[in-house]
Structure 1
């Protein structure tokens, strides 16, 4: 659900060129908001890392620790990125999420930070500078309607399960 970070265009250079994958609507069987995770990744396999592949065939290896997750999201808004002119979901992090991301990116400049939505690799930019502002952007091959629905689901989670269920019905009509 993933151009990412520090009103992202400014925080991570080259994010517009990051590999992305289409975002599918959530399964109607699941009655929860999408699971968003930011995790460090490597280009080469190492013991203890999990292999993940995006829709283009790019393979990365994920560290088990989650830097940020859905619970760290204070708000989500769909909009059009002014640089790439593509739909994005802009996230504002909680204070704890902002601080955790700031520490993680300050200590890991030059590393890959993978963005996953429901375990699907969306994008994986290289951290070019610390991301301190508490704003993150998710981009991928999605329509504005998909970005809007994703933002609504993320705003509903984890606080309002009934709204998430209603929105999932809209994403996946019977």
Structure 2
């Protein structure tokens, strides 16, 4: 299911995330933007999972940020180890109300208050194979282009009817 919904007031929000998770996301997006890392929320991976935030650095490194808004959110979600197969660096991001000692030491850790964020622990690097990097880069580019087109279609009164199918 795409992040872009053409039937809502805001075509860039799909409504699956809690308000707390959206605040964490906003802070992380501000931090990563300042670091010149381009991000896409809810990016589908070829494993069938969705990364909360997938990013590309200026050098082409792939970053994934998994947002956890509570202890329970972390405990029930055990799909995150699969994300390592799709990125050079894996981070968890949370807010000050979640104990930081629950997060694995072998992942990066970001603390966000919704207005900004700070990397508390840098993520260890796990370099992707060239073929996986190409797949992820193309997936990122196509998702970004498809979302931009869908948002434009939803916002432009001169574009009527359903948007073109993504190829």
TM-score exceeds 0.5: no
- Structure with more strand by fraction: 1
Normalising by structure 1, we get a TM-score of 0.28
Higher relative contact order (CA 8 A, sep 6+): 1
- Structure with more helix by fraction: 2
Normalising by structure 2, we get a TM-score of 0.29
